[in-house]
Structure 1
Amino acid sequence: MTVLNGWRRRGRAPSRTLDVLGVAVLCVLSVVAASVDPHEHEFVLRWSAVVLAGVGCSALLWRRRHPFGVLAVTIGCGVIFQMLGFRESPLVTSPVLASIYNVALRTDRRTAWTAAAVSAAVLVGADAVWTSNSWLDPDKAAMVAWTALPAAVGDGLRSRRAYVAAVEERAEHAERTREQEAQQRVAAERVRIARELHDIVAHHIALINAQAGVAVHLVDQRPEQILTALENIRDTSRSALDELRVTVGLLRQSDEPVALRDPMPGLAQVPALLASFERAGLAVSHTWLGITEPLEPAVDLAAYRIVQESLTNVRKHAGADHARLCLHYHCERLTITVEDDGCAGPHHPHPGAGHGLIGMRERATTIGGTLYAGPRPEGGFTVTAELPLRPGPAGNRRHENDDSRTACR
C-alpha cells in the first residue's frame, strides 16, 4: 500500500507541474494579446491586463474540482477585459475557452452547450454594451464561433472516452463470462464422466461380486458348474472393459482421427442386461406397454443407465432375488418403473454412498425428465423415471425425499 500511494503521489506531481506550466503559458499569451494594438502596431503592457490574465488563468488550476466556479471567474475576467477597452481576441479570452472545454469534458452534452451559449451571450452582450459596435459585427460572430469550438472539442473527446471505456468494459465482461462458461463446461464434463464411470464400474463389479459368490458356493455343492460361473465372470469383466474403452474413446481430441467405436448402449441392450442379472441370481420380469418408438441417443442412453443402476441397487441392497421392470411408452414420454420386494428397512450408509441415485437424477434432469425413488407401501423399493421421448431443457424439478435406504444407493 505504501508503494502504491508513493506511486500515486509521484503520478500526481508531474500532472500539477504541467498544469502550472500550462497556466503560465496561457497567462503570457493572454497578456501579450491584450497588450498588442494591431491598429497602431504598438505593444503597451498594462498592469490591469496582467492582473486579469493572472486571475483568470490561475483559476484554471481548480478546474477539476470546481468547473462551473472556474467558468464564472473566467467569464467575469473576460467581461472586465471588454469594459477596460482591451481588444477582442481569442487569446485574450483564452481562459474562458479553456473553462468551456473543461466543462464539456467533465459534464454531459446539454450542460456543455448551455455553458458555451451562456458564455457567448455574456461576452457578446458586454461588448455590445461597452462599445458602439453593431450586433452584427464580425468580431461578435467570431466570439460566438470561438466559444462553440471548445464545447464541440470537449464533447467529442468526452464521447470518445466514454465509448472506449464502454468497449473495454464489454471486453472485460466478455472475458469473465468466457472464463466462467469454460469452468462450467469443465465441471459439467467432469460430472458426466464420473457418472458414466460409476454406472459402468458399479454395475459390472456388483455382477462380478455376485458371480464370484456363486462360484465359491458351487465349489462345494456343484463343482461341475464352476466352469460356467467362471465364464460368466470372464464375460462380465470383458463387457466392463469394452464399455470403459468406449467411454474413454469419447474423450479423444476432436482434431484426432475418429476411431471406430461401438455404439453407446440403449434400451435395445436391455435383454442382454437382464440376462447378465439372471446369471448373477436376480430374475427380472420385463413388461413393455404402449407403442415402442425410437428414442434420441441421449434419451436412449439415459433410460438404459437408469434401468442398469436401478437393478444394480436391487442386487446390492434389496436382498431380493426377483425384480420387475416396466417400460411404458406414452405419446410424449417414457415411464420406467423398477420394483422389488426386498427389505426396505433402514440401511447404514457407507462412505461414498448415494452416487447411484444422484447420477440417475442428473441423467433424468439433463434431458428434461424427473425421477422418484423410495419405499413401496406394501414393502420393497421402487424407482420411477419420467423421460421425454425427445430431450428438452432441464427445468425446475421436484425431488422427493428418500429414506435411509435411498441414501445407501
Structure 2
Amino acid sequence: MTAEWSQWPRRHSRAVDVVTSVLLCVGATYASTLIDHGGRQGPEVARAPSLAVFVLSAIASIALLRRRQYPRAVLAVTTACGVVITALGFDLSILTAGAALISVWSVGLWSSDLRTAKLAPLVCGGPLLIASFFHGLMPLLTGGRISAIAGVLVAGALAEAGRNRRDYLSALHARAELAERTREEEARQRVGEERLRIARELHDIVAHHMALAHAQASTAAYLLRSQPDQAQEMLDQLAGTTSAALRELKATVGLLREDDSDAPLEPTPGLAQLPELLASFERTGLTISLSITGVPRPLSPGADLTAYRIIQEALTNVTKHADTPAATVRLVYSRILLTVSVSDDGGSSAESVRGEPDSVSQGYGLIGMNERAVSVGGHLHAGRRPDGGFEVTTELPLEPPNNLDSEDKTR
C-alpha cells in the first residue's frame, strides 16, 4: 500500500504540478498582505492583497507547468517575477519566492548541463537578495531573507541528492544489463563448446564403427562362396560391431536431451578399454603390435578419453586408407607426459582424408584429433614417415594443464 502511494505523484505528475502552482499563487498573494516590522511577534496582516503580486505569482505559477521541458527558461521567468515582487516593496520570504525555489530544484534535477545545475541557487538567490535591499538594508537579517536563502540552498541540495540517486539507479540498471548480456554470451559459448564436443564424439564413433562394419562386410562377401563358415563368423562380428555403434550413439545423443535418462550409461572410454579396441580392428584383418614403454600412470579423464579417441581415429584411417595390413601402437610414459604414436608402413590412397596440406578437400579426422589434444594441454603431429607410411604422434600431460609449469614440459 505504501509503495502504491509513493508512486502516485510520478504517475499523476500533471495533477501535482497544477495543485503546486495554485498553492504557490495563493501563498504569494497572501504574503503580500503581511508586513514585518522587526518585532518579536513576526509579520502581521496589515494591508489588502495586491493585484500586482497576484498577477506576477500567477505568471510564475503557470511557467512552472513547463519546468520539466524548459527548466532554465522557467528559472529565469520565476526569478524575474520574484525580483519584481520584492522590488515593489513586498517582503522577501519563502512564500513570495516559492516558484523560484521550485525552479531551482527543477534545474538541478533535470538540466543536462551540470554547471548550470550547480549555479542555479546562486542565479536565483543573488537577484532576490539584492532586490530585497531596495527599500532599506536594516535590519540586515530579517526572517524573510533568512527563510528565502535557506530555501534556495535546500532546493539545490535536494536537486543534487535526486540527481545522484538517479545516476546511481541508471548505473545499477546498466550493470544489470551488462551482466545479463555476459551471462547470455557465456551460455551461448558453452552451448557451442558442448555441440563441438558432441560432434567430435559422433565423428569418432561413426567413423570407427562404420569402417569396421565395411571391412567385415567386404570380408564376409569375399568368403561367402569359398568359406561359408568363416563368412558366417564375420557376419556375427558385424552384428556385434553395429550393436556397439548403436549403444555408443545412444549414449552420446542422449546428452542432447533435456531430461537425464534413468538408464545407466556405459563408462567413458579410456586406455583401460584399449585391448578391446585393438581386438575389434584385428577382427577385420588388421595386424596391430602394441608396445608400452615406462610405468603406466593414470591420466586425467579428459586426457584418457583423448588418448583413446586419437588411437581409434588413427587406426580407422589405417583401415580405410593405408595399403598395409599392419599397424603399430606405441605408448611411452615419462615423468609428466604420455606420448602416443600410431604408425603404418604402407602408402595412402586418399591423403586428403588424412589432412595433407595440399589436399583439395581436407577431411576432419586430423582436425578433430588435433583439437582433442590441444583441449587437454597437449599437441599432435601427423605426417608421412621418411621410410614410408604414415604416423600420428601426440603428447598428452599426465596431469591437468594448469598444474604444469613451463619448464616441466621439456622431457
TM-score range, shorter chain: 0.7 to 0.9
Q: 1:236/1:73 Cα in 2 relative to 1: closer, same or farther (>3 Å)? A: same
Q: Deviations over 1:48-79 (max 9, x none)?
A: x3554355455546645654454344334323
Residue 300 (structure 1) shift: 0.6
Equivalent residues, number: 378
Residue 388 (structure 1) shift: 2.3
The residue that corresponds to 2:196 in the other structure is: 191
The residue that corresponds to 2:214 in the other structure is: 209
- Kindly indicate whether the alpha-carbon contact (under 8 Å) linking 2:378 and 2:397 is maintained by their aligned counterparts in 1: yes
The residue that corresponds to 2:183 in the other structure is: 178
The residue that corresponds to 1:92 in the other structure is: 96
Q: Within 5 Å, which residues of 2 pair with 1:82-161?
A: 82-107=86-111, 112-128=117-133, 130-161=135-166
Residue 279 (1) aligns with residue 283 (2) = yes
Residue 270 (1) aligns with residue 289 (2) = no
* 3-state SS, counterpart of residue 343 of structure 1: coil
> Mean alpha-carbon deviation: is it higher for 353-362 or for 279-288?
353-362
**Distance of 1:279 and 1:255 partners within structure 2:** 35
Q: Which amino acid aligns with 1:386?
A: E
* 3-state SS, counterpart of residue 91 of structure 2: coil
Q: Within 5 Å, which residues of 2 pair with 1:1-16?
A: none
Structure 2: give runs of 5+ residues left out of the alignment: 1-10, 36-43, 354-358, 403-411
Residue 253 (structure 1) shift: 5.9
Q: Deviations over 1:306-357 (max 9, x none)?
A: 1101110111122332222222233333222222233346656699972333
Residue 297 (1) aligns with residue 294 (2) = no
Q: 1:37/1:233 Cα in 2 relative to 1: closer, same or farther (>3 Å)? A: same
Residue 205 (structure 1) shift: 1.4
Residue 383 (1) aligns with residue 392 (2) = yes
Residue 32 (1) aligns with residue 29 (2) = yes
- Kindly indicate whether the alpha-carbon contact (under 8 Å) linking 1:337 and 1:382 is maintained by their aligned counterparts in 2: yes
Q: 1:100/1:304 Cα in 2 relative to 1: closer, same or farther (>3 Å)? A: same
Q: Deviations over 1:204-250 (max 9, x none)?
A: 11111111211222234444422332232233233323333443555
Identity, in percent, stands at 44
**Distance of 1:328 and 1:125 partners within structure 2:** 96
**Distance of 2:205 and 2:247 partners within structure 1:** 10
TM-score (norm 1): 0.78
Q: Deviations over 1:96-135 (max 9, x none)?
A: 1122111211258776454324533443344245433333
Q: Deviations over 1:372-406 (max 9, x none)?
A: 3333444433322232223447xxxxxxxxxxxxx
**Distance of 1:340 and 1:128 partners within structure 2:** 108
* 3-state SS, counterpart of residue 148 of structure 2: helix
Q: Within 5 Å, which residues of 2 pair with 1:393-404?
A: none
Residue 235 (1) aligns with residue 244 (2) = no
Q: Which amino acid aligns with 1:356?
A: G
> Mean alpha-carbon deviation: is it higher for 17-26 or for 210-219?
17-26
**Distance of 2:148 and 2:235 partners within structure 1:** 105
**Distance of 1:122 and 1:269 partners within structure 2:** 93
The residue that corresponds to 2:342 in the other structure is: 338
Q: Which amino acid aligns with 1:358?
A: I
**Distance of 1:248 and 1:111 partners within structure 2:** 65
Q: 1:72/1:249 Cα in 2 relative to 1: closer, same or farther (>3 Å)? A: closer
